[in-house]
Amino acid sequence: ILNVEQSPQSLHVQEGDSTNFTCSFPSSNFYALHWYRWETAKSPEALFVMTLNGDEKKKGRISATLNTKEGYSYLYIKGSQPEDSATYLCAPDNNAGNMLTFGGGTRLMVKP
């Protein structure tokens, strides 16, 4: 069982603030790192799949970076909006079989 840690567990920000959170995972036998966004009462939805050290992905105001050598990924949200309120999950694949191990998530709440 992989040790996947996400920090912080929860985060309250004001609308317009930029924020970031961290996913730490084992660097050995790494294949990919997935980020998912999970809104309350909905299903988790994929944000990014990252595979290469130094990868940076962007979707609108959300971006992510990846360091496979030290085993971490950052997710950034620029100018947070209330609709960004969700739990953000990271999940590394360390065995090439698309078996993901999910972290506990970071719950983001954006106040108008």
The residue ranges that bind another protein (CB under 8 A) are 1, 4, 9, 31-32, 34, 42-46, 49, 51, 89, 91, 93, 96-105
- Quick one: tokens of 111? 């106040």
Q: How far is the CB of 112 from another protein (least distance, A)?
A: 26
Q: How far is the CB of 44 from another protein (least distance, A)?
A: 5
Q: Of the two residues 17 and 65, which places its CB atom closer to another protein in the complex?
A: 65
Contact at 8 Å (CB) between 3 and 101? Answer: no
- Quick one: tokens of 98? 């698309």
Largest CA distance in the chain: 42
